[in-house]
A and B are shown apart, each in its own frame.
Chain A
Amino acid sequence: MGLLSDPVRRRALARLVLRLNAPLCVLSYVAGIAWFLALVFPPLTQRTYMSENAMGSTMVEEQFAGGDRARAFARDFAAHRKKSGALPVAWLERTMRSVGLEVYTQSFSRKLPFPDETHERYMVSGTNVYGILRAPRAASTESLVLTVPCGSDSTNSQAVGLLLALAAHFRGQIYWAKDIVFLVTEHDLLGTEAWLEAYHDVNVTGMQSSPLQGRAGAIQAAVALELSSDVVTSLDVAVEGLNGQLPNLDLLNLFQTFCQKGGLLCTLQGKLQPEDWTSLDGPLQGLQTLLLMVLRQASGRPHGSHGLFLRYRVEALTLRGINSFRQYKYDLVAVGKALEGMFRKLNHLLERLHQSFFLYLLPGLSRFVSIGLYMPAVGFLLLVLGLKALELWMQLHEAGMGLEEPGGAPGPSVPLPPSQGVGLASLVAPLLISQAMGLALYVLPVLGQHVATQHFPVAEAEAVVLTLLAIYAAGLALPHNTHRVVSAQAPDRGWMALKLVALIYLALQLGCIALTNFSLGFLLATTMVPTAALAKPHGPRTLYAALLVLTSPAATLLGSLFLWRELQEAPLSLAEGWQLFLAALAQGVLEHHTYGALLFPLLSLGLYPCWLLFWNVLFWK
């Protein structure tokens, strides 16, 4: 530890940090962004490869030929569904039993904290139907799941048809070593959540559901299927799950292998795969896909019902059949063959998927960036906060404690013993108030919705969103008053100490977030770090204030929505963007309460109070 204990070298280091602080910060920030952009270029992106030995070669012969059967099932299902207006449970039970499955149902109900206007539901009750194909070659200790989530509109009937046809086909095969569960859930993700909770006998979201009558051992992998027409032009694969969790990369590799084998066209984030990674076009297209993935992962929403499986450590992905105006169309047989191949390969697994990566980014289906390569990007961004904090500490320390090394100039070092006490005491009020604002932001909107609907002409969902915005804006006005309580003994020390605490707080939060959900951490770091480093009560204050508002968590969310639609090549108008923003707020709160998504509490209890501290620094008198 020579560097830390040798006073000469220490002083040199301190001088370096103090004098070159601004250039070092800029350099570090630019390096972080540049590193991230460089991720799509070949030395940093690698070709994907299958790590799992048991799924290594593709020597499986798919025999599925039940296309007509699938279409017939789908037609029947759609007809019954239209007749009853809900999931035709009795028909499903009968059909599953007729193809030779062990059939069970599970009913569930859930009262949402406030009406969900996007999906038009409030008091939800429904029934899940699932059939188990018992493996002839093993005890029921492990299983695979094929699930089809059915929403309120009857769009997914082709998927149900294909599921039933596949079940009938699988039933005739003798090689199964794992039970296969065919699950049809009502109310899409809510049903999936109810089923998963009941299957693992836990209750984490306050769902009321009947216990499951039949189980099939530990689930090894799951595939969710969404199809809305008899023919598809491409299959889109979704990997991002709840809170940004991702399935093992091998599952994706498996899907890609079978797409290639069957000649299916597959897309990621709705984008085709660039062929040529050596020229500039490939990586640029990859960057678009990568950014879309980052935005989707950062949202922390389950993008498809596979997202909920990931929480239970079940590797899962969602396949979506897309029917666009392309020429080459595939029928259900092609999709069914790919699924059959995947299930047969998964059937070979000797242990859980664990060989390949869990933390990765995808610029394309056949390319990935591993954690060791993308982490430096966020590391560089956080370094800015560290450098700034170190600079502030040194300034505070020198001003307050005088001599770091006794000596130097014996005399001028007039010690200021009470300064530190004042510094700490003046921090308590802003910290407590901003944290209390965060708590209010988290608790009040849902708690106070009924009060709001009584006094204002708004519906519950609107009330929640508007209360959110009101509290958020009120936070900007409130903390101005906090420091008047404190005697301004040393004017500069107050805000410096507050900024120091805020910087450390922000760095800690962003670090922890980046570890669990890189995309969210990186997105927030890119926006919040520069203004956090800049904030101070001198200089062009209006400019700083504008910048700070532009990089606040809510503004980041709004900006991400615009970027997201821009990247999807469906740009938003301002009004649309605002509507989407309001809907996203409501969805964020709902998803926290229904699935346990963490984005809302993270923003309201962690980043918003932290951001308020910087706001407070800016308006320190």
Chain B
Amino acid sequence: MAAPLVLVLVVAVTVRAALFRSSLAEFISERVEVVSPLSSWKRVVEGLSLLDLGVSPYSGAVFHETPLIIYLFHFLIDYAELVFMITDALTAIALYFAIQDFNKVVFKKQKLLLELDQYAPDVAELIRTPMEMRYIPLKVALFYLLNPYTILSCVAKSTCAINNTLIAFFILTTIKGSAFLSAIFLALATYQSLYPLTLFVPGLLYLLQTRHINPNSAAAVHTCENEEQSLLDLFLGVCHDVCGKPSGNHLPLLLPSQLLGFHPRSLWLYINVFFYTIPLAIKLKEHPIFFMFIQIAVIAIFKSYPTVGDVALYMAFFPVWNHLYRFLRNIFVLTCIIIVCSLLFPVLWHLWIYAGSANSNFFYAITLTFNVGQILLISDYFYAFLRREYYLTHGLYLTAKDGTEAMLVLK
């Protein structure tokens, strides 16, 4: 299975290298969909030159990266393209192994439940087989590496790619069951953009559950929780003290960005990300990885200054939920909406900024449509997941009392 992965990696690196050398690179790195003031490479360079001049990069209002990023690129500035290609490759590899392990866990759990006779009798076609699950990890890597959004993000050298890598490693270490490492990666990701903090809940749920299934380490539950929490605190605290800047988000909210962060009236949406964590945790407490997927998507939709790089991360998970395909209702319409919006971004931006013939409302309308499309897509997945779970326990062919086909109502 390693050979196809290597092939995908080679193709992905070739595409990126070709784009880096082409004249498109500069154009892409200026696109508002791809870079935001928080993740723009231009600003990293600005911060580095300020640092070289002996001025604090934070003295102006331009640089919003974390100190760790600036120290990282202080040494690697000449190899920036290489660094971004490697981070993308690392993300894909981490996701590949994470999903490989996750599939094993899923299969084991399904087998256990089958043996315990928890499923309804007529759900044979819903049962997942090793055959169909075999290529899922590869598809995940493929979806991440060859997604146009990821490629754009990488070619623009958006630091969002680094955050994605950290989150991918957090997922990998969580699935591998290493509480210590997962805490470190989560802390690093949170340190960079704050929102991954919400991933703490699904991560914790997953770790607790894997230990729970393993009876001999039941005692470790408590320690695990404490360990993770204290590590997170410690790390954030250390970063705060040492670097004097907790995370990159202390931006005066004045700059126009794209997607939802753009409109001043949508300010309340910035904290929206955190509203969903607790309800989702209650509803999906049995399925922490699906919870994690939904939460990553929610972050990508509702964070301030979102870019397509964030979208790419949750899109990589789509192959994992392939078995939900038959329950998705509007996948065609929603895919079309997302593709149409992605193409209309540059067109309307051109009309607004260069041609001067349209105005900002055109662009704002399309960002809003894009987000509505994403929200509907995620809720479609959420609903499909719940439906499948329901059918698994209650049987696929439900009939109402009068013998007609039953209708499920989500309440």
Per the 8 Å Cβ criterion, residues 345-365 of A in contact with B are: 354, 358-359
B376 adjacent to A407 (CB under 8 Å): no
Contacts of A406 in B (CB 8 A): 391, 396-398
Stretch at the interface among A93-101, A212-220, A254-262, A508-516: A508-516
A415 and B350 in contact (CB under 8 A), knowing A245-B355, A512-B343, A515-B344? no
A415 and B356 in contact (CB under 8 A), knowing A4-B329, A7-B407, A406-B391? no
The docked-state distance in angstroms from the alpha carbon of A10 to that of B344 is 28
How distant is B318 from chain A, measured CB to nearest CB, in Å? 14
In the complex, B351 has a CB within 8 A of chain A: yes
Per the 8 Å Cβ criterion, residues 327-377 of A in contact with B are: 354, 358-359
The docked-state distance in angstroms from the alpha carbon of A410 to that of B396 is 10
B326 adjacent to A401 (CB under 8 Å): yes
In the complex, B11 has a CB within 8 A of chain A: no
Counting chain A CB atoms within 10 Å of each CB, which of B355, B405, B406 scores highest? Answer: B355
- Interface bits A484-504 vs B (CB < 8 Å: 1, else 0): 000000000000000000001
A516 adjacent to B350 (CB under 8 Å): yes
The listed residue (B347, B355, B397) touching A407 by CB distance below 8 A is: B397
Stretch at the interface among B177-185, B212-220, B229-237, B332-340: B332-340
- Interface bits A1-42 vs B (CB < 8 Å: 1, else 0): 100110110100000000000000000000000000000000
The docked-state distance in angstroms from the alpha carbon of A5 to that of B327 is 12
A504 and B336 in contact (CB under 8 A), knowing A358-B357, A407-B398? yes
A515 and B351 in contact (CB under 8 A), knowing A5-B329, A7-B407, A504-B339? yes
In the complex, B78 has a CB within 8 A of chain A: no
A4 adjacent to B355 (CB under 8 Å): no
Contacts of A415 in B (CB 8 A): 125, 326
Per the 8 Å Cβ criterion, residues 142-182 of B in contact with A are: none
Per the 8 Å Cβ criterion, residues 105-132 of B in contact with A are: 125, 132
A407 and B356 in contact (CB under 8 A), knowing A1-B376, A508-B339? no
In the complex, B330 has a CB within 8 A of chain A: yes
Interface residue tally for chain A (C-beta within 8 Å): 34
- Interface bits A271-315 vs B (CB < 8 Å: 1, else 0): 000000000000000000000000000000000000000010100
- Interface bits B314-330 vs A (CB < 8 Å: 1, else 0): 00000000000110011
In the complex, B207 has a CB within 8 A of chain A: no
Contacts of A512 in B (CB 8 A): 343-344, 347
> A413: nearest residue on chain B (CB-CB)?
B125
In the complex, B348 has a CB within 8 A of chain A: yes
B132 adjacent to A417 (CB under 8 Å): yes
The docked-state distance in angstroms from the alpha carbon of A313 to that of B355 is 6
Counting chain A CB atoms within 10 Å of each CB, which of B348, B357, B358, B399 scores highest? Answer: B357
A515 adjacent to B340 (CB under 8 Å): no
B405 adjacent to A408 (CB under 8 Å): yes
In the complex, A393 has a CB within 8 A of chain B: yes
In the complex, B354 has a CB within 8 A of chain A: yes
> B396: nearest residue on chain A (CB-CB)?
A406
In the complex, A569 has a CB within 8 A of chain B: no
The docked-state distance in angstroms from the alpha carbon of A415 to that of B343 is 34
A410 adjacent to B332 (CB under 8 Å): no
> A8: nearest residue on chain B (CB-CB)?
B407
A508 adjacent to B343 (CB under 8 Å): yes
- Interface bits B368-411 vs A (CB < 8 Å: 1, else 0): 00000000100000010000000100001111000001110000
Contacts of A508 in B (CB 8 A): 339-340, 343
Per the 8 Å Cβ criterion, residues 393-431 of A in contact with B are: 393, 397, 401-403, 405-408, 410, 415, 417, 420
The docked-state distance in angstroms from the alpha carbon of A1 to that of B379 is 12
How distant is B365 from chain A, measured CB to nearest CB, in Å? 12
Contacts of A4 in B (CB 8 A): 329-330, 333, 376
The docked-state distance in angstroms from the alpha carbon of A120 to that of B1 is 62
A358 adjacent to B355 (CB under 8 Å): yes
The docked-state distance in angstroms from the alpha carbon of A397 to that of B325 is 11
How distant is B398 from chain A, measured CB to nearest CB, in Å? 7
Per the 8 Å Cβ criterion, residues 177-231 of B in contact with A are: none
A407 and B399 in contact (CB under 8 A), knowing A415-B125, A516-B347? yes
Counting chain B CB atoms within 10 Å of each CB, which of A311, A420, A512 scores highest? Answer: A512
Q: Which secondary structure dominates where chain A touches chain B?
A: helix
> A408: nearest residue on chain B (CB-CB)?
B405
Counting chain A CB atoms within 10 Å of each CB, which of B325, B326, B406 scores highest? Answer: B326
How distant is A467 from chain B, measured CB to nearest CB, in Å? 24
The docked-state distance in angstroms from the alpha carbon of A508 to that of B356 is 22
> A415: nearest residue on chain B (CB-CB)?
B125
How distant is B104 from chain A, measured CB to nearest CB, in Å? 22
> A7: nearest residue on chain B (CB-CB)?
B407
The docked-state distance in angstroms from the alpha carbon of A405 to that of B406 is 10
The docked-state distance in angstroms from the alpha carbon of A325 to that of B180 is 92
Contacts of B398 in A (CB 8 A): 406-407
A245 and B357 in contact (CB under 8 A), knowing A406-B397, A515-B348? yes
> A360: nearest residue on chain B (CB-CB)?
B357
The docked-state distance in angstroms from the alpha carbon of A401 to that of B331 is 13
Contacts of B351 in A (CB 8 A): 515-516
B357 adjacent to A359 (CB under 8 Å): yes
Contacts of A359 in B (CB 8 A): 357-358
A511 adjacent to B399 (CB under 8 Å): no
The docked-state distance in angstroms from the alpha carbon of A354 to that of B350 is 17
The docked-state distance in angstroms from the alpha carbon of A493 to that of B50 is 59
The listed residue (A1, A358, A504) touching B356 by CB distance below 8 A is: A358
The docked-state distance in angstroms from the alpha carbon of A567 to that of B396 is 65
The docked-state distance in angstroms from the alpha carbon of A511 to that of B333 is 16
Contacts of A5 in B (CB 8 A): 329, 383
Per the 8 Å Cβ criterion, residues 27-67 of B in contact with A are: none
How distant is A4 from chain B, measured CB to nearest CB, in Å? 5
Contacts of B343 in A (CB 8 A): 508, 512
The docked-state distance in angstroms from the alpha carbon of A246 to that of B357 is 9
Counting chain B CB atoms within 10 Å of each CB, which of A1, A390, A393, A516 scores highest? Answer: A516
How distant is A8 from chain B, measured CB to nearest CB, in Å? 8
The docked-state distance in angstroms from the alpha carbon of A1 to that of B344 is 24
Contacts of A389 in B (CB 8 A): 336
B406 adjacent to A407 (CB under 8 Å): yes
Contacts of B399 in A (CB 8 A): 407
The docked-state distance in angstroms from the alpha carbon of A511 to that of B7 is 36
How distant is A496 from chain B, measured CB to nearest CB, in Å? 13
The docked-state distance in angstroms from the alpha carbon of A389 to that of B336 is 11
Contacts of B330 in A (CB 8 A): 4
The docked-state distance in angstroms from the alpha carbon of A4 to that of B339 is 19
Contacts of A511 in B (CB 8 A): 340, 344
Per the 8 Å Cβ criterion, residues 311-325 of A in contact with B are: 311, 313
Contacts of A311 in B (CB 8 A): 354
The docked-state distance in angstroms from the alpha carbon of A486 to that of B115 is 42
Contacts of B405 in A (CB 8 A): 405, 407-408
Contacts of B332 in A (CB 8 A): 390, 393, 397
Contacts of B350 in A (CB 8 A): 516
How distant is B326 from chain A, measured CB to nearest CB, in Å? 5
The docked-state distance in angstroms from the alpha carbon of A5 to that of B348 is 31
Contacts of A504 in B (CB 8 A): 336, 339
The docked-state distance in angstroms from the alpha carbon of A410 to that of B356 is 58
Contacts of B358 in A (CB 8 A): 358-359
B355 adjacent to A516 (CB under 8 Å): yes
> A505: nearest residue on chain B (CB-CB)?
B339
A410 adjacent to B397 (CB under 8 Å): yes
How distant is A134 from chain B, measured CB to nearest CB, in Å? 27
A515 adjacent to B339 (CB under 8 Å): no
> B348: nearest residue on chain A (CB-CB)?
A515
How distant is A563 from chain B, measured CB to nearest CB, in Å? 26
Contacts of A405 in B (CB 8 A): 405
The 3 closest A-B pairs by CB, nearest first: A358-B357, A407-B405, A410-B397
Known: A246-B357, A406-B396, A515-B348. 10 other contacts (CB 8 A): A5-B383, A245-B355, A358-B356, A397-B332, A407-B398, A407-B399, A408-B405, A420-B325, A515-B344, A516-B351
Query: Please, could you name 9 A-B residue pairs with CB atoms under 8 Å apart, sorted by A?
Result: A4-B329, A245-B355, A311-B354, A313-B355, A358-B355, A359-B357, A393-B332, A403-B326, A508-B340
